[in-house]
Amino acid sequence: MVLARFLPRDAQFFALFREAVANAVETAEVLANMLATMEDVERKARRLRDLEHRGDEITHRVFSALNSTFVTPIDREDIRDLASQLDDFVDYIEEAGRRISLYRIAECNERAALFGKVLSEQAQILAEAIPHLEHAKERDRVLRYTVEINRLENEADDALSQALAVLYDGVDDIPGLIKAIRWGELYQLLEDATDRAENVANTMEGIVLKHA
């Protein structure tokens, strides 16, 4: 509609995206700390659950704003996708923390700690990238951040392959088998979480290219 070009565009979505990605950063940092130390696991798992609930609430606010806003600053489907994918990123991180608590994993593991580091770095990069979406002249800057997020996801792919290759080495009894199976599930879940960050990056890249 021609009229839509002259209506004020609601910038609240960018504020909500900044809030959502800040929540994702904190979520990733809590998990990274959990994986690096395996201390206070129950408390950190509860904190992750609280952050996941906060993410759900922010996503709900985005969808509510979509329903009440006639003209949006970027395409509606892009707003919906970006909000949903940020929420998925947090969901997967929280689920990894829940599994650690559920399985009563207590020992530190260098491979798992690497996944935590990758997730934390991805979240930080997303937090740096998202504010540039608000200003059309800055959107090209987003592309260099998406390249880095994709590089980190590839790093996680390699880490998963290496972890699975030695997962059952030395396993010679049922308790050891159960432990290995649980670590395998956790590794896969952590790698899936890095995929969710890549999904966010791909959506941001699509927004930039669409409005180039």
Per-residue pLDDT of the chain (212 residues), as tens digits, is 343 443 345 678 999 999 999 999 999 999 999 999 999 999 999 999 999 999 999 999 999 999 988 888 889 999 999 999 999 999 999 999 999 999 999 888 999 999 999 999 999 999 999 999 988 788 888 999 999 999 999 999 999 999 999 999 999 999 999 999 999 999 999 999 999 999 999 999 999 988 76
Question: 10-210: CATH homologous superfamily?
Answer: Phosphate transport system protein phou homolog 2; domain 2 (1.20.58.220)
What is the crossing angle of helices 76-102 and 12-37, to 10°?
20
Nearest to 91 by CA among 52, 122, 50, 35: 52
